[in-house]
Structure 1
Amino acid sequence: MTMSLVRKPTFSRSRIPSFASVFLLALTLLLLLASPSFPWTLTILHTNDLHGRLSPFSDPALGPESGGIARLATLIRQIRQENPETLLLDAGDRFSGTTLSSLFQGEAELVFASLLGYDALALGNHDFDYGQERLLYLRQRLAHLPFLAANILSEPEGKPPYPPSLYRVKNGVRILLVGLSTPETPYSTRPSNVAGLAFQSPARSLRAVMEKERGSYDLLIVLSHLGYEQDCRLAEEVPGIDLIVGGHSHTKIETPERIGRTWIVQAYQWGLYLGRVDLEIRERRLSQVKGKLLPLSSKIQADPLFASLVKHAYQERARPLMEEVVAHCPYPLLRGEGETVLGNLLADSFRAFTGADLALFNRGGIRADLPSGPITVGKIFEVLPFSNQVMTTELSGRQLKVLFDRLAARGGGDAISGARYRIHQGRAEDILIGDRPLEPDRIYQVAANDFMMAGGDQFDLLRQGKNVRAHGLDRQALIEYLRGHPGEWPPRGSRIER
């Protein structure tokens, strides 16, 4: 028998590193290498409240040919080339407010958002203006557009119909993006557009996401369509937010504002500015913040591809209808806080369209001014972009007294036709329907749009009416009135006495 003089090595199983431990060690090393210890800059580009403004337009501050999606594309491309570590975010309300938005029901806005490559978008109240089915259809066609809404739940299931949050990783830093929508949405879009949705407390919903994702993120950025004041309150109530990218209030925040350890930004409205925030990151934490608004004036060259797409894919298809002249106006018809000629004109068109005793038009539903000169179908689309139905309902004189008191308490800025009243100490007095005093026991027929009839803009009392009937689109009512009453412009200040 021979014996080997060479001893075979033996290994203890406890000394052999497991595959899992090796993998975790390698992953840790990769993250450490991917996240540099020296400072680096994460650039946030942000927009909000674009409201369908794809084409350039004149702005008093920036001059003619300002804004437009093609100029926005140029700036975004330049900044991404300057710093590849860039995120592009939107804080809601891409829809409603222009002819193209109304005609194509939000398609154009989302096509261009997809081409721009947004990393995340909040849902604004006007993003529901064309209904949930339309929004779902567009999302399915453009599935890579990440809409976020942490405080929207479907009823009765209580499940989120939209993702509450998502992650983006830059230089190994884990960035948690959370979307919040205004709880005012059921009152600021047609209620049927959000039927079956429950809008929860933004602060409570955000805390729930933060608790669920605790330990998994390095930076927290909130895309908020709550408005500036609510953003400030959110920063106070929920510690731990690094940056709030805001919208809804159309606030022009020139440089980032700070509340506690939270920074707040907002880029005004209509794509007139692109917001830029440069976040200095040191050891996976925010160390410094610099930001500004970049004006999209005519000095910015429009991206030729985007400009061509706007023109050929949308403007030329819409032009024949939009250029049809309906009437001529001798002076501008402007929106305003009190009684206006434009508001009275819209209310008159509703009353003539329906034959009602009186008509109402909420001031928030007037979305643009009418300039002097030819009034085209396109201009009417800009004034009335929501495709609301003209409705009638029946209310008693007693119910109307409560309604007129509500109008007086709102300052008398909502238009009326077929009635007059005086505001005294915040209440309505000397109410006339036609030329006769309001009769408490009489039943009156009242016209308004379906948004108001469903309780929108806090007109809850209209929901108490009986024999509700639809008559047609608001734009149809105005077009017929203008054609049937050429040169007739209601005077301002003739219906509400103060």
Structure 2
Amino acid sequence: MVNILKNKKFVASAVTVAAVVTAVSPASAAEMKFTDVSDRYKEAVQFLFDLGIVAGETETSYGTEHTVKRQDAAVMIAKALGYDPADTYEDSGFTDVPKSAKWAVDALKQDGFIDGKTATRFGANDILTRNETAKILAEAGNFEIDDTIKETKFTDVNERFAKYVDALVDNGITFGKTSTKFGANDAVTRGEAALFLHRTALKMMDGVYSLSVMHLNDTHARLDSAAKQVTAVKEYRAENPDSLLLHAGDTFSGTLYFNEFQGEADLAVMNLMDFDAMTFGNHEFDLGASTEGHKALQEFVAAAEFPFVSANVDFSTDPLFTGLFQTKIGTTPEDSNIYTGIVKEVNGEKVGIFGLTTKETEDISSPSLVSFDEDYLEEAQTMVDEFEAMGVDKVIALTHIGFDDNPAIDNDQVLAEEVEGIDIIVGGHSHTELAEPVVYDGDDTPTVIVQAGQYGENLGTLDVLFNGDGIVFAAAGELIEIKDQVADTKAVEVLAPYKAKVEEISKTPIDATAVEALTTPRAGEDLTAPSVRKNETALGNIITDGMLAKAKEYDENVVMAIQNGGGIRAGIDAGPITVGEVITVLPFGNTLATMDVTGAELKSAFELSVGQLPRENGGFLHVAGAKVEYDSSKAAGSRVVNISLENANGTFTPISDTTTYTIATNAFTAKGGDGYTMFEKAYTEGRVTDLGLSDWENLRDQLESIGEVNNDTEGRLVDVNAAN
């Protein structure tokens, strides 16, 4: 099993090392300011000094012949591996380590690179031996260690250290003091330590290839911050000029930009950003059932100044895509084409990229004539094998299957576990914000998984180092928040006409009128006042009615819908209702999800909903399709009296604890937002399906179906305590 290094600073340092290695020359060694460093050690000391890994004992003395304490060695090695003194590491439990070295000892112990003399004693002031140095460098250097080695050619190396000394000798890090003596228990000098570290760095960089990736997913036509995204991309690219830019799907649906321009506005910015590839999300197929079919998607592809990758989606039976859909890997990929996968040459190396889209698309979107292969794992393995046959050993899966979605259908974690040979998974669909890369290292070819969240709120970045065999041995990444960047002027100019139209449309009335104001009161400190966060409201009922109606279109078994009061952010004034007002009510861009839960889980959820009364609770649940009776005079946790489902004839039937019901809610609540751990459990167990339908659009449709809307409530949430 490969021990993949995930320290961000290490990866950055390693890339620097690779550059410094090529720059080291006799001229740079001649600049040595330490007068006690002999020619044997000059290059190593200068190299480590330039990287800030070592310092002199004085301004002019390095202390070459002085011995190294174990605590000092820990600091040197931790710095070489890029550990940050400001980070927090697991407490090693050693009581003899001074504060100045504790971070380094803790970091190296946490990752298994060092041991103590005992459980509580590190031996901080003990002199570091050559045996101990061999063990630390063999493990920290990620060298292959043969556990079967019990002895070496050196007669003074015991069985405990034999495999480590053997690994260092095999990699040219050390050669022993004589042909038969390693000097196993001799003290290591500062000069020798520098020499060992320098050789280890050179060996680790031998044949190393560095790849940088920027990534976005589930942007859903959120273009208000797109000009700042362009700036973030340009800034990252300025420092990493050979980095890839990938999109993991779902640019379609979600805002007025899409409703009006059907991807045209998004593409205008994407072309400006110079993407390398995109895969399809389920929402790219939302218009398939329209009279024009996938015409908007076809136009999106045709106008794209980048290629698309999709190994498990078959466009061949839709004539709109004739000439755009290629069934082979594109070795010289052209813009505006769909390939199963493509090969890009990056920094002198070939990188394979293939795409996957969730098979759930057939149920939660409108693919129409477009079809999806049954086994995404089989398609992925086929792609890896094809790349391998082409001599491509660095493979990226650009996926829209979700990080932790229903494993019975598809998700990235299952993909990483089941298909060997995928180095990087750039994912989407689940809107997961992975602050750091997740690494699956259960086999000899680790897989790094990243996802940037949603709505273009972050630009994902990833740096990966491959060894000479094309295997990932180090990875680090972060999400760059799109917030404080200065908007790119060209992007602002490109978006201006689209933005003007959207602002105009937001003022346009929908086909509904509020006969009276639809209120969303807040109680504040007045515990007797009504609030959308603790009382039934007309707007809450309308929202959940719309959720229930829309969910039933996809699954007739849905019996109830719930909406958290904290997600209802504004009321609607009396008079004609505008698009802008609807969006203001539900501004978070939540999507509609269905969820299978037991009656017992529902009761537990409503206990949480009413548990803080008479105080407000952002998680207070509004409901459609059911009546919930509770007693606010009872202790929290035992207030729910009855939950009954509404029948077609207007009667109600109590739910059963042991029966499983399909309900609708927003994705935030379905993932456990507002403390709904029972829903989070359902989500992690694959009992949630995100339909991806915009909440404000559902509300608009429901308001239009009513026409003339009033502020009446219907007794869906009833406090049976007479005093209230």
Report the TM range for the smaller structure's normalisation. Answer: 0.5 to 0.7
Task: Determine what percentage of the aligned residue pairs are the same residue.
Answer: 29
Does 2:307 match 1:307? no
Residues 71, 490 of structure 1: alpha-carbon distance in 2 compared, 3 angstrom cutoff: farther
Describe the SS at the equivalent of 2:213: strand
CA distance in 2 between counterparts of 1:282 and 1:340 reads: 61
1:272 to 444, 452, 457: 457
2:700 to 472, 475, 497: 475
Structure 1 equivalent of residue 504 of structure 2 = 320
Describe the SS at the equivalent of 1:329: coil
Per the TM alignment, residue 343 of structure 1 is displaced from its structure 2 partner at its CA by 6.0
2:429 to 248, 251, 267: 248
CA distance in 2 between counterparts of 1:165 and 1:133 reads: 22
Structure 1 equivalent of residue 363 of structure 2 = 187
Matches within 5 A, 1:9-88: 39=208, 41-55=210-224, 68-88=225-245
Per the TM alignment, residue 213 of structure 1 is displaced from its structure 2 partner at its CA by 2.6
Describe the SS at the equivalent of 2:294: helix
Contact 2:285–2:294 under 8 Å retained in 1: no
CA distance in 1 between counterparts of 2:717 and 2:433 reads: 32
Structure 2 equivalent of residue 61 of structure 1 = none
Residue identity opposite 2:464 in structure 1 = L
Residue identity opposite 1:75 in structure 2 = A
Describe the SS at the equivalent of 1:294: strand
Does 2:598 match 1:378? no
Contact 2:317–2:369 under 8 Å retained in 1: no
Per the TM alignment, residue 204 of structure 1 is displaced from its structure 2 partner at its CA by 0.8
Contact 1:99–1:381 under 8 Å retained in 2: no
CA distance in 2 between counterparts of 1:100 and 1:249 reads: 22
Per the TM alignment, residue 178 of structure 1 is displaced from its structure 2 partner at its CA by 0.9
Contact 1:99–1:385 under 8 Å retained in 2: no
Contact 2:628–2:643 under 8 Å retained in 1: yes
CA distance in 1 between counterparts of 2:624 and 2:599 reads: 15
Describe the SS at the equivalent of 1:213: helix
CA distance in 2 between counterparts of 1:208 and 1:340 reads: 54
Residues 432, 282 of structure 1: alpha-carbon distance in 2 compared, 3 angstrom cutoff: closer
> What is the TM-score normalised by the length of structure 1?
0.65
CA distance in 2 between counterparts of 1:40 and 1:340 reads: 59
Structure 1 equivalent of residue 479 of structure 2 = 293
> What is the TM-score normalised by the length of structure 2?
0.46
Contact 2:518–2:572 under 8 Å retained in 1: yes
CA distance in 2 between counterparts of 1:407 and 1:54 reads: 39
After superposition, what is the alpha-carbon deviation per residue over 1:214-233, rounded to whole angstroms, capped at 9, x for unaligned?
23213101111111122111
Per the TM alignment, residue 194 of structure 1 is displaced from its structure 2 partner at its CA by 3.6
Root-mean-square deviation (CA), in Å?
4.6
Structure 1 equivalent of residue 93 of structure 2 = none
After superposition, what is the alpha-carbon deviation per residue over 1:415-454, rounded to whole angstroms, capped at 9, x for unaligned?
98677599xxxx996754454469xxxxxxxxx9xxxxxx
Contact 2:462–2:475 under 8 Å retained in 1: yes
Describe the SS at the equivalent of 2:717: coil
Residues 250, 477 of structure 1: alpha-carbon distance in 2 compared, 3 angstrom cutoff: closer
Residues 138, 488 of structure 1: alpha-carbon distance in 2 compared, 3 angstrom cutoff: farther
- Alignment length, in residue pairs? 387
Residues 489, 111 of structure 1: alpha-carbon distance in 2 compared, 3 angstrom cutoff: farther
Residues 183, 349 of structure 1: alpha-carbon distance in 2 compared, 3 angstrom cutoff: closer
Structure 2 equivalent of residue 206 of structure 1 = 380
Does 2:298 match 1:137? yes
Does 2:430 match 1:233? no
Per the TM alignment, residue 39 of structure 1 is displaced from its structure 2 partner at its CA by 4.4
Per the TM alignment, residue 129 of structure 1 is displaced from its structure 2 partner at its CA by 1.6
Per the TM alignment, residue 272 of structure 1 is displaced from its structure 2 partner at its CA by 1.1
Describe the SS at the equivalent of 1:214: helix
Structure 2 equivalent of residue 16 of structure 1 = none
Gaps of 5+ in 2: 1-204, 319-324, 328-336, 405-410, 523-530, 550-557, 590-595, 606-620, 630-641, 654-663, 665-687, 691-697, 720-724
Residues 489, 437 of structure 1: alpha-carbon distance in 2 compared, 3 angstrom cutoff: closer
Per the TM alignment, residue 169 of structure 1 is displaced from its structure 2 partner at its CA by 0.5
The structure with more radius of gyration: 2
CA distance in 1 between counterparts of 2:234 and 2:347 reads: 20
CA distance in 2 between counterparts of 1:108 and 1:198 reads: 28
Contact 1:418–1:434 under 8 Å retained in 2: no
Describe the SS at the equivalent of 1:378: helix
Which structure ranks higher in relative contact order (CA pairs < 8 Å, sequence separation ≥ 6)?
1
- Pick the structure with more strand per residue: 1
1:488 to 706, 712, 721: 712
Per the TM alignment, residue 342 of structure 1 is displaced from its structure 2 partner at its CA by 5.1
Contact 1:256–1:263 under 8 Å retained in 2: yes
After superposition, what is the alpha-carbon deviation per residue over 1:68-104, rounded to whole angstroms, capped at 9, x for unaligned?
1111100100111112111001111112122222222
Contact 1:152–1:162 under 8 Å retained in 2: no
Per the TM alignment, residue 332 of structure 1 is displaced from its structure 2 partner at its CA by 7.3
Contact 1:47–1:90 under 8 Å retained in 2: yes
After superposition, what is the alpha-carbon deviation per residue over 1:32-58, rounded to whole angstroms, capped at 9, x for unaligned?
xxxx96645321001111111111xxx
CA distance in 2 between counterparts of 1:302 and 1:80 reads: 16
After superposition, what is the alpha-carbon deviation per residue over 1:312-360, rounded to whole angstroms, capped at 9, x for unaligned?
2212113233124654432179999xx99656304657999xxxxxx97
Residue identity opposite 1:475 in structure 2 = R
Residues 418, 283 of structure 1: alpha-carbon distance in 2 compared, 3 angstrom cutoff: closer
Structure 1 equivalent of residue 142 of structure 2 = none
Residues 428, 200 of structure 1: alpha-carbon distance in 2 compared, 3 angstrom cutoff: farther
Structure 1 equivalent of residue 259 of structure 2 = 102
CA distance in 2 between counterparts of 1:269 and 1:211 reads: 32
CA distance in 2 between counterparts of 1:143 and 1:492 reads: 49
Residue identity opposite 2:267 in structure 1 = L
Per the TM alignment, residue 202 of structure 1 is displaced from its structure 2 partner at its CA by 1.7
Residues 289, 111 of structure 1: alpha-carbon distance in 2 compared, 3 angstrom cutoff: same
